[in-house]
């Protein structure tokens, strides 16, 4: 039985989404093709109909994960400083920490991505910069490129905070770390400073 283009695209997307979740849960190196295809409800033999190699799938899944993060979180946030606070509070929430399968690929996979081949690194760079540019557009609407590095630095701080919070066995300390991380990220982005200035004015 031959399937149409739409069916093939839907199947490919199912593999990509399943792979994205498993990579974040078990790591790239810890996720074999058979497990990835089982997650998607498909046989191993179907893999090469959609991807040339596991590296090809990794690059595609990383790009897809970042695109989803941008569409579902960053693009949905309010404009300006209110949107920055929404993004920071979502990122450093206990819910995000406790659901790594559906969370940020940066916090879950950065260490492995740095060891990946260039196509995956490029896919990651392109994807993460879309997220960063969304943050920068809220930080400096008139000149987003001028604050791109600051936005990237805040994102890196948040990813590291989330990673450390996930690794701690002390839940209370992990929660306190997230709260401090929110304050640190907002201070770096100038949100708290602006709010204090308005309050004292």
Cβ atoms of residues 51 and 60 within 8 Å: yes
CA distance 106 to 168: 18
- Whether 107 and 99 have beta carbons less than 8 Å apart is answered as no
Q: Report CA dihedral (5, 39, 22, 117) to the nearest 10 degrees.
A: -50
What token pair was written down for 160? 């590291």
pTM of the predicted model over 0.85 = yes
**Per-residue confidence of the chain (201 residues) as pLDDT tens digits?**
456 678 889 999 999 999 999 999 999 999 999 999 999 999 998 999 999 999 999 999 999 999 999 999 999 999 999 999 999 999 999 999 999 888 999 999 999 999 999 999 999 999 999 999 999 999 999 999 999 999 999 999 999 999 999 999 999 999 999 999 999 999 999 986 444 444 333
Q: For residues 169 and 75, is the Cβ–Cβ distance under 8 A?
A: no
Residue of 199, 185, 192 lying closest to 88 (CA atoms): 185
Of the candidates 110, 114, 91, 83, which has an alpha carbon nearest to the alpha carbon of residue 162? 91
Q: CA 139 to CA 174: how far, in whole Å?
A: 28
Quick one: pLDDT at residue 85? 97
Distance CA 12, CA 56 (A): 12
CB 96 within 8 A of CB 112: no
Which residues have C-beta within 8 Å of that of residue 123, sequence separation ≥ 6? 59, 60, 62, 63
């Amino acid at each position: 039985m031959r399937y149409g283009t739409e069916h093939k695209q839907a199947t490919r997307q199912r593999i990509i989404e399943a792979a994205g979740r498993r990579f974040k849960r078990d790591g790239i190196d810890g996720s074999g093709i058979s497990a990835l295809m089982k997650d998607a409800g498909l046989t191993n033999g179907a893999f090469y109909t959609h991807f040339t190699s596991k590296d090809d799938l990794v690059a595609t899944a990383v790009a897809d994960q970042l695109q989803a993060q941008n569409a579902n979180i960053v693009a949905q946030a309010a404009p300006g400083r209110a949107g920055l606070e929404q993004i920071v509070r979502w990122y450093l929430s206990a819910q995000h920490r406790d659901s790594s399968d559906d969370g940020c690929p940066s916090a879950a996979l950065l260490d492995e991505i740095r060891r990946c081949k260039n196509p995956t690194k490029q896919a990651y760079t392109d994807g993460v910069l879309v997220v960063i540019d969304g943050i920068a557009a809220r930080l400096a609407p008139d000149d987003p490129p001028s604050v791109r590095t600051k936005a990237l630095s805040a994102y890196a701080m948040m990813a590291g905070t989330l990673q450390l919070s996930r690794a701690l066995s002390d839940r209370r300390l992990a929660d306190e770390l997230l709260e401090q991380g929110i304050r640190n990220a907002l201070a770096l982005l100038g949100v708290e400073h602006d709010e204090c200035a308005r309050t004292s004015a």
